Homo-oligomer: A and B are copies of this chain.
Amino acid sequence: MYAVILAGGGGTRLWPLSRAQRPKPFLPLLDGGRSLLQATVERLAPLVAPEDVYVVTDVRYHDLVREVVPALPAANIVGEPMGRNTAAAVAMAGHAIDRPADEVMISLHADQAIADEDGFRAVLATAGERAQAGDIVTVGIEPTEPATGFGYILAAGEAAPYAGRDTYRVERFEEKPTAERARELVDGGRAYWNAGAFVWRRDTLLDGLARHAPDIDRPMRDWFATPGGDIASMYATLPERAIDYALLEPASLESLVAVVPASIGWSDLGSWSALRDQRGGEGSPVIATEGSARVIDAGSRNVLVHAAGGRTVATVGLDDVVVVDTPDAVLVISTAAAQDVKKVVNLLKDEGSDLL
């Protein structure tokens, strides 16, 4: 097996720490200042060695990948000339990475946290075995609440065990639901969160792309057949489409997609509030500092303080607040309003601010 990690940019939910110049996968968000990308590589290690791990990312993040995952061979960084969404990135990985046609590829995102790493690898092993048989296999996160912020994978039919774990056929995918529909899906017991983790043989992927996404697959295939062309010009012609729409959904209609249910403490760390919870911040403050920054707290609770501005941050008597200090911007946000950081980001976008 080999693994492809998609390390893209653009996320602003962890602003002001997350910036165009250093997006979420490259930030020191975890214990000991580890990045999510580093954690993603490390948790694969017992199953997939670093020399079999590849990172697909915008070329401008090449040096960031080297910085946060020095163990990864430089040749394993696949640079995209620009971001064209995940279908293009996965197609790039399928064509550019020279592995045997029948080898199993794991495709993952770099910006998620997983508490049960052993459980995650067991799920991948099961997925790998089913993928070896020719299926497109998804990892389906067992929902812990009727979340409206994720897409859902709907399973059907009898359990088919692989490597000692049940798998199911995927009937279809459903986009981010309303609250009412989310409740129905979760109560039904056959719906899982789509974590964007997919497992397939390389030839399964390439065949699927050729059939379902020829407008992405053909330019890519042609470019690799006659190297030396301008990859940026080719890339600019590609439609921006998610791999879920481009491949997973049409393939599911042909009953070619499977799901491995997983209860592994997964989080997409989609807000400062989620990060605080993931870092164990219910109770004593979670404090992260970069460089010469310092944090002094007196009596706060349920608080995350990330100090990256080289200054002293003092927090006193706070409850359910996140403080993020950077050299040019500071955010102080109630965890209950953590999603509203987008209001600030949208205002800055409208202004063309250089704080993004």
- A residues with CB within 8 A of B: 16, 296, 298-299, 309, 311-319, 321, 323, 325, 327-334, 336-337, 340-341, 343-344, 347-348, 355
Contacts and interface: CB of A to CB of B under 8 A. Distances in A.
Interface centre among A298, A315, A332 (most CB of B within 10 A): A332
Given A316-B344, A343-B298, A343-B316, A311 B330 contact: yes
Given A296-B344, A298-B344, A333 B311 contact: no
B355 A333 contact: no
A24 B318 CA distance: 24
A15 to B, nearest CB: 8
20 contacts: A16-B314, A296-B347, A296-B348, A299-B343, A312-B329, A313-B330, A314-B329, A314-B332, A314-B333, A316-B331, A316-B332, A316-B343, A317-B337, A318-B321, A318-B333, A318-B334, A319-B334, A323-B330, A325-B330, A330-B330
Nearest to A303: B332
Contacts of A344: 296, 298, 314, 316
Given A16-B314, A318-B321, A318-B334, A299 B340 contact: yes
